[in-house]
């Protein structure tokens, strides 16, 4: 495995704010890597550090083995799809897409051909002469993508590229991005705050919290075995059972995660009072209070739904409870 991007003890502090604090990270060549976290968790700063828009306060960043310490953005073989797309308003779509080639001094005919191909790839053939202001949000997003891949970068950075799109378009673009990544074989580093997006698209996900990485794992691993209460809550919307509660059941004094869909309503088990009922379509989400703990329960469509205030009994397989042994209580 070739390491495409390597962070060693990287920090980026803005005055007293530790935006990124002592991060170690390896991203493999050809990987679709997601950086997931709430806003302000440091994921975007990490992306900007890779692009070179920010310089680390401490630590080193290597891209394909080369130390990036003194390499300015324009000398890096890395391209970015910006959150606001950052299309040049004074240039038409062709000139936007071909900008990188124009800077590299390519001839007009080469630029035209490459830009046409890139636009074809993002299904925007025939839009070349329009100005960015004449495009819809989804189309702009595709132009930004075409512009970023035309230089054939070694690493493509995507900063919440789907954030401004509506749900339907977002799901479509998620598919297309995955296909495109396989087709190009470029390493993708994708920043998002949408856990569903990260889980469905990425080969591996780094979960960011307060400037550090809480966990790096495959989506499957992350969902089934969150290592910290934060990851359990943020990634899977899992229930986090506090240590005293867990101790009563399995004896270990650590918090544990329990996914909402692993809990069944049954005739016996843990008694609790239904506090809220939300119909989600494919399931109904219940909030059930058990003494000191409130659990979220997903109740399949076929089941009969209890009423608010009703006392019900909950049970689950103890194997579905994942004790987070690495966490200090």
Partner 1 sequence: MSDTLLGRISDTLWRNPRLLIVALLAPPVAWLGIIYLGSLFALLAQSFFSIDEFSGLINYEFTLKTYGELFKAYNLDIIVRTVTMALAVTIGAAIIGFPVAYFAARYARGPWKALFYLGVMLPLWSSYLVKVYSWKLILAKEGILNWLFETLHLSRLLNAYLSLPIVGGNSLSVSTTGTFLVFLYVWLPFMILPIQASLERVPHSMLEASGDLGATPVQAFRTVLLPLAFPGIIAGSIFTFSLTLGDYIIPQIVGSSRRFIGQAVYQYQGTAGNIPLAAAFAVVPIIIMGLYLWWAKRKGAFDAL
Question: With binding defined as CB under 8 A, does residue 112 bind partner 1?
Answer: no
Pick from 3, 28, 71, 102 the residue near partner 1 by CB under 8 A.
102
In which element (H, E) is residue 177 found? helix 167-184
Closer Cβ to partner 1, 97 or 124, answer by number: 97
| Closest of 238, 230, 293, 229 to residue 263, by C-alpha | 238
The answer for 15, left when phi > 0, alpha when psi is -120 to 50, beta otherwise, is left
Which listed range, 101-109, 111-119, 293-301, 313-321, lies at the site for partner 1 (CB under 8 A)? 101-109
> Sign of torsion, CA 163 167 172 178?
positive
- SS3 category, 288: strand
Question: With binding defined as CB under 8 A, does residue 82 bind partner 1?
Answer: yes
Pick from 151, 200, 264, 289 the residue near partner 1 by CB under 8 A.
151
Residues in the interface with partner 1 (CB under 8 A) total 25
Q: How far is the CB of 83 from partner 1 (least distance, A)?
A: 8
Q: Which one-letter DSSP state was computed for residue 133? A: G
Question: With binding defined as CB under 8 A, does residue 308 bind partner 1?
Answer: no
Closer Cβ to partner 1, 76 or 322, answer by number: 76
Question: With binding defined as CB under 8 A, does residue 80 bind partner 1?
Answer: yes
Pick from 25, 47, 78, 158 the residue near partner 1 by CB under 8 A.
78
- SS3 category, 169: helix
Strands 32-36 and 187-192 turn out to be: parallel
- Report in angstroms the alpha-carbon separations of 113 from 97, 128, 133: 11, 11, 23
Closer Cβ to partner 1, 86 or 184, answer by number: 86
Pick from 86, 164, 273, 293 the residue near partner 1 by CB under 8 A.
86
Question: With binding defined as CB under 8 A, does residue 84 bind partner 1?
Answer: yes
In which element (H, E) is residue 223 found? helix 219-224
Which listed range, 35-43, 102-110, 121-129, 272-280, lies at the site for partner 1 (CB under 8 A)? 102-110
How many other CB atoms sit within 10 Å of the CB of residue 312?
A: 19
Question: With binding defined as CB under 8 A, does residue 322 bind partner 1?
Answer: no
Q: How far is the CB of 85 from partner 1 (least distance, A)?
A: 8
Q: How far is the CB of 129 from partner 1 (least distance, A)?
A: 15
Question: With binding defined as CB under 8 A, does residue 103 bind partner 1?
Answer: yes
Q: What is the DSSP string of 227-264?
A: SSHHHHHHHH--EEE-HHHHHHHHS--S-EEE-GGG-E
Question: Where does this chain bind partner 1 (CB under 8 A)?
Answer: 51-53, 72-74, 78-80, 82-84, 86-90, 99-100, 102-104, 147-148, 151
């Amino acid at each position: 495995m070739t390491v495409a991007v390597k962070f060693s003890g990287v920090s980026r502090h803005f005055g007293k704010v530790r935006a990124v604090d002592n991060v170690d990270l390896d991203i493999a060549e050809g990987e679709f890597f997601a950086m997931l976290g709430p806003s302000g968790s440091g994921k975007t700063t990490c992306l900007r550090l890779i692009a070179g828009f920010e310089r680390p306060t401490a630590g080193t960043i290597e891209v394909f083995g080369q130390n990036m310490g003194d390499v300015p953005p324009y000398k890096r073989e890395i391209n970015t799809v910006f959150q606001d797309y950052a299309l040049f308003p004074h240039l038409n779509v062709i000139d936007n897409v071909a900008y990188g080639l124009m800077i590299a001094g390519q001839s007009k005919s080469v630029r035209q051909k490459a830009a046409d191909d890139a636009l074809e790839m993002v299904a925007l053939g025939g839009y070349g002469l329009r100005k960015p202001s004449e495009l819809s949000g989804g189309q702009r997003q595709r132009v930004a993508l075409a512009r970023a891949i035309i230089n054939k970068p070694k690493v493509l950075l995507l900063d919440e590229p789907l954030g401004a799109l509506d749900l339907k378009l977002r799901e479509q673009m998620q598919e297309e991005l995955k296909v495109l990544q396989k087709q190009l074989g470029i390493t993708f580093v994708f920043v998002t705050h949408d856990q569903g997006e990260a889980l469905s698209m990425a080969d591996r996900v780094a979960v960011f919290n307060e400037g550090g990485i809480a966990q790096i794992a495959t989506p499957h691993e992350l969902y089934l075995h969150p290592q910290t209460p934060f990851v359990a809550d943020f990634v899977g919307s899992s229930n986090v059972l506090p240590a005293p509660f867990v101790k009563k059941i399995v004896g270990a004094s650590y918090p544990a995660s329990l996914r909402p869909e692993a809990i069944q309503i049954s005739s016996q088990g843990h008694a609790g009072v239904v506090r809220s009922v939300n119909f989600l379509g494919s399931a109904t989400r219940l909030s059930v209070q058990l003494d000191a703990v409130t659990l979220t329960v997903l109740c399949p469509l076929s089941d009969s739904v209890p009423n608010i205030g009703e006392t019900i009994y909950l049970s689950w397989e103890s194997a579905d409870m994942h004790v987070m042994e690495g966490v200090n209580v």
